[in-house]
Amino acid sequence: GATASTVIYSIIQTAIENELKPQNYLKYVFDQIQIGTDASILLPWSDQIPESCKVKKSQQK
């Protein structure tokens, strides 16, 4: 339980630090994992992350 929570929290924080919408990013990652996408493409800093996962500049704090 605690380990899984820590992993998910870390993924969410890394997504936020890379200016991604955590919910959209996680859905994208889970969808892509199911079809066998290479994990390196799914990293939050990958240039292949879709625009729908990215925070628009006007939405940033």
The C-alpha atoms of residue 61 and residue 43 are separated, in whole angstroms, by 23
Rounded Cα–Cα distance for residues 29 and 46 (Å):
12
Three-state secondary structure call for residue 19:
coil
In the numeric block, which tokens belong to residue 35? 């079809």
For the chain, domain boundaries: 2-48
Q: Where are the alpha helices (DSSP H) in 1-61?
A: 2-17, 22-34, 39-42
Q: In tens digits, what is the pLDDT along the chain, a chain of 61 residues?
A: 899 999 999 999 999 999 999 999 999 999 999 999 999 999 999 999 999 999 998 755 5
